[in-house]
Amino acid sequence: MITEKEHPLDNCQLFVQLRKFLHEYAQSTKILNHIIYWSGNEEHIKSICDHVVGLLLEHELILQVPHGKHQDLVARPNGPAAMNHLRGLLVYLVLNRANEQFLGDSQWSAHVIHLCYQLPAIPQLMTIAIALNCGLQQPLEEFLACGPRWLTFQYFETFNEVLSHIHVNWQDTLPLLFAALKAAGRAIVNHNLPEENKRLLRQMASMLQRHLLDSDRRLKTLPRASTRRIYLAKVMEQLLEVLLDTLNDPQKREKPKCFAIYSQMSVDISASYSNDHVTDLRLFALILLDSLQRIFHLISVDTFMHWLEMPSPRLLYSYQELICSQTAELLKLVQSDEELKQHSVCKQMQGFAEAAKTLEQRIAELTIGELLAFLDGDLGDQVTNEQALAGLDNLFSRFIAFGNDECLETMANHLHLLTKKHAQIIINYLGQVVLSKMVAEDEGISVTEVNHEDDEDNEQDEILSNEEEEDEGLLNMVLRPLFMQLNVNDKIEVLLLRDEQNVTKGFNFEAPDHRERRIRFFNRLDINKSFPMDEFLVLCYENANKTWIDFSRLAVTHTRFTRLFWRLAAQFCPKLTAFHISACADDFLMDEILLQKPNALRFLLYLYGQRQILNGLYISSRHMRISLKDGRCPYGKEQLKQTQNQFLEACANGLAKFRKFRDFPSLQIIFRLLLMITVSEKHLIFQGARQLTTLEKEQPKSEAGDDADDVKMARHYTNMHACLPEWRLNHWSLISQVIKTIDALRWDLATFEEVRVNTLEMAVQYWGHGLSHLMFLNGEFRKRVLNLVSKLTHKDFWIVHLTEDSSNNTRCVLRLLTQSTASEATKLFTKVLNNHTDCAVVGELSDAVVKVNRESAFRAFKYLFRQYLIAFRNHTRIDKTCTKRQHWDHLMAVVAKAPFCIRNEITEQASAFAVRFDIDIQTQQRTKSLIDKEMP
C-alpha cells in the first residue's frame, strides 16, 4: 500500500536507490553527461529506463499495463497517492541536469538546493526519456506548464528533438505531442512573460511542423488508406482539444495544486510578468489554426464518412460526431475575437459545426437498453459525472422508466447525482398517474365492461397489484432517498409541488414507524433550541397533514409554541403551510379537549385568517398591519373563498357533533369564535381601507389618471376582504347547522339549564348579526331557510323573525318566553309592558311553573323574572304617565303572581326598586304582609 508523500521534495529511499544506481552506472558503464545524442546511445538509455521502472515497481508507484497495439508494457502511475512521489522524482532528475554550466548556482531556490549535485549530471534527453518511458508523463506535463520559464524552455526544445526517437509509432507520439502543446498554452497563463512567450511560440510552431504529417506527401508515408484516415481523425480531435483548452477563459482557470512544487524550483530571474494573457494566447491559437487548416485540407469526403464508424475517446460519440461537436464549441469561442473568427479554417469548418450533436441529442438517440448500459458503465469507458447527469436527465424524461425495475435500480445507483429537478420530475409523473385514475373513476364502467367484469376480475387485480409494486419501488428506491439528501429549501419546493399535484391522494408516503417518530419529535421539541427543520420536513414528506395537526396541538398548549408555529408557517414555508393548515381547523373544531385549551380561541381565529397571515399580516400590541400585495403567499379571490369555506365547514361539523352530545362548553367556544370572526372581519376591512387611503396619498395618480400599480394591488386585496362577511353569511352548511343548533338549544320549563341558555344566547347573538342580511337574500335562499325551519321542533321564534308574525296574545308570548334567551325575554317583556299585559303573562307563567313543579321550572321563572325586571326598569324610564308609587304598586302586583315557594326570592329581587321609587322599608314590609294575607 502506498503512503502519500506530503512533501514531494523530501529525501527518500527511492532517491537513495536511484542515486546509488546512477553513480555505479556512470563509473562502470558510461558517464551520463557524455550521452549527448540519442543515436548510438539507445541501449544505455533503455537500460537506465528499465532500471528506473524496476525501482518504481519495487515501491509500487507505477503499474505496467498492456500497450494494446503491440506486446510492450506501458508504465502508468499507481493512483493519486503515487503522484507526489513521481513529481519529486522528476524534480530530482531536473535539478541534477548536465548543462548546469550555463547557469549559476544562485538560480536554484532554497526549497530545492538540498537535492542538487546528488546525482551524476544527467542530460535533458535522458530525463525526458525516463519521464516518457517510466510513468512520469503527467509530472512532465505539469513541469512544462508550471516550472520556471528559463528552465522549461530548454525541456520543450529537447522534447521536440527526442520525441520521434523515444516513440517511433505515431499513435504513441501524437498524445505526447499534444500534451506538450497543451502545457505550452498553460505555461503562458501561469508565467505570462511576453519575451519568453515569443520564444515558446516559435518552438511550438516548429514542433507542429516537425511532428505532424500535414501534407499529402508526408501523410502518404503511412502505408494504408485506413491508417491515414485514423491518423487524420486523431490529429483533428487532439488539435481541436488543445485549441479549446487554450481559448477557454484563462482568467477563470485556477492553478493546479502542484503548481508550487515546480514554480519554486528556482529564483525568478525572468523579466516582469504581464497581466495580458489574451495577446499571446491569440498568437498561439493562430499557430494551432494554421496547423488545423493544413490537416483539414487533407480530409476527403470518404475520410469524413469513414470517421462515423470509428469509436472516439468520448463515450457515445464516433470520431465524426466528436470532431463536429468540438468544431461547434471552437467556433462559438472564436466569435468574441475578430482576428480568430476571420481565419479561413473557421469558415471552412462551418459545415462540421452545423452537423454537431450535443451530448443530450446523442443520448436521446439511444434505446432504453443502451441508455442503461451507458449509465451502468457497461460500454467499457468510465462515465463522467457530466455524462451520467445528462443520461439520467434523459432517463427521467422517459416515464416508462419509472415502472421498470432495471431503470429504478440504475436511478438508485446514481442517487448522488440526482437533484431537486429529478424529484420534481417524479412528482409530476405521480401527479399524472393520480389524475388519470381520477378521470377513469369519473368516466365509470361501460356496459361492455360490466358484461365482462366477472371474467376479468382476476386479471384486473393482478394489474393493480403490479402497478402498486412498481409505484412502491419508485417511492422507496428513488424518491425517498433522493428527498432525504436535498437541502431544506429544495425539500420545501418538492413538497409544495407534491401538494399542487394532489399526489398524496393516490400514493402513500408514510413509513411504518412514522407515528412513533412524529410523537417523539414533538415530545422532544425544545423551544430554546433551533427548530429541526430538516427532520420536520421529513415527517411532512411522510404525512404532512398529521404532522401539521400535531404541531398545532402543541402550539395551542403555550403561547411560545403558538409563536413558533406561526413564525415557521409564515416565514419559512407559507405556501406549503397553506395546503395543510385547514386540516388543523378540522381537527381542532372536532376535539372538545383542544377547544378548552386557554389559547384555543386565539389560535382558531388565526387559523381563520391564515391566508392573510401567511401573506404577511401581523398583529403587534398596538395595531394590525395587513399585506395588501403579493407577499410570501399571494392569494386570489377563489383561493380566499375556498379557505374560508373549509374553515366554516369545520365549524359546521363541530356544531353538528357537539349539538348531538349536548356539549355546551364546546358549543360556546365555537359560537364565541364565530362572534370574534364577525368583529375581526370588520377590523380587517376597516384597517385595509385605512391603509389603502394612506397608500393613495403616498402614490398619487399618474398624469393619465391611472392609479399606481401598488394602489391597484392594494385595492384588489381590500375588495377581496370586503367579500368575507357576505360569503360567511351565505355559507349554507354553517347557516343550517346554526339554525339546527339553536333549535336543539331551545328549552322548556322541564329542561331549563343556565349553561344551556347561555349557549343559546351566544348562538342567537351570532344569528342576529346576520339577520338583517338574511332579509335581503334572494327569494330562493329565503325559501331554503324557511323549508329547514318548517322541520324544526321549536318554530315560534323563526316564525316571528322570518314571517314577521306579530301575534300579541298571551299564550303566544308565554310559548316564546319559555324557550327564549335573556335578550329575547327582555324584548318580549318590553312588548307586554307596553301592552299592559305583563301581569297576566307573569300569572300564566307562574301557573305553568307550578304545574310542571320541577326545580328546573322554578329556576326558569327566576331567570325570566330577572329579564322582566330589566324590561321593567327600562319601561319606567320611558313611561312618565305613572307616578313612582304607581310603578311600585304595579311591580308588587306582578311579584304577587310568582309561585309561592319562590315568592320571597322574587320579592327580594324586586325590592331593589324601592330606592328608585322612594319607597321606605317599612312600607315595603307592610306591602309584604298584605301580600301574605292575600295568599289562599
Q: What are the grid coordinates assigned to 65, written together?
A: 499495463
Ramachandran angles phi, psi of 618, nearest 5°: -140, 155
**In the prediction, which pLDDT does 228 show?**
94
Span 456-464, average pLDDT: 50
DSSP-assigned beta bridge partners for residue 108: 266
Q: List Cα–Cα distances, 122 to 24, 47, 70, 87, in angstroms.
A: 14, 14, 30, 17
Span 878-882, average pLDDT: 82
- pLDDT for residue 268 is more than 80: no
DSSP-assigned letters across all residues of 292-354:
HHHHHTT--HHHHHHHTTSB-SSTT-BHHHHHHHHHHHHHHHHTT-HHHHTSHHHHHTHHHHH
Lowest mean pLDDT among 105-109, 747-751, 908-912: 105-109
Span 513-531, average pLDDT: 94
**In the prediction, which pLDDT does 445 show?**
46
- pLDDT for residue 534 is more than 80: yes
DSSP 77: E
Span 333-347, average pLDDT: 92
Give the percent of the chain with pLDDT over 70: 90
Model pLDDT for residues 245-262, shown as the tens digit of each residue: 999 877 667 888 889 899
Span 435-456, average pLDDT: 60
Model pLDDT for residues 400-413, shown as the tens digit of each residue: 999 899 999 999 99
Span 372-396, average pLDDT: 90
**In the prediction, which pLDDT does 446 show?**
44
Model pLDDT for residues 273-332, shown as the tens digit of each residue: 777 888 999 999 999 999 999 999 999 999 999 999 999 988 889 999 999 999 999 999
3 state SS of 736: helix
Q: What is the largest CA-CA distance in the chain?
A: 156
Higher pLDDT, 801 or 163: 163
- Return the residue matching grid coordinates 355559507: 731
Lowest mean pLDDT among 223-227, 311-315, 774-778, 861-865: 774-778
451: confidence class by pLDDT, cuts 50, 70, 90: very low
Q: List Cα–Cα distances, 450 to 446, 447, 454, 766, 767, in angstroms.
A: 6, 5, 8, 52, 51
DSSP 808: -
Contact call for residues 44 and 29 (beta carbons, < 8 A): yes
271: confidence class by pLDDT, cuts 50, 70, 90: very low
Q: What average pLDDT does the structure give for the chain?
A: 88
- pLDDT for residue 117 is more than 70: yes
Model pLDDT for residues 609-619, shown as the tens digit of each residue: 999 999 999 88
pTM beyond 0.95: no
**In the prediction, which pLDDT does 784 show?**
87
Q: What is the CA angle 521-525-529, rounded to 5? A: 135
- pLDDT for residue 468 is more than 70: no
Higher pLDDT, 806 or 571: 571
- pLDDT for residue 200 is more than 60: yes
- pLDDT for residue 624 is more than 70: yes
- pLDDT for residue 936 is more than 50: no
Span 656-680, average pLDDT: 96
Model pLDDT for residues 801-853, shown as the tens digit of each residue: 555 444 456 778 898 999 999 999 999 999 999 988 999 999 999 999 999 99
- pLDDT for residue 348 is more than 70: yes
Lowest mean pLDDT among 93-97, 187-191, 253-257, 455-459: 455-459
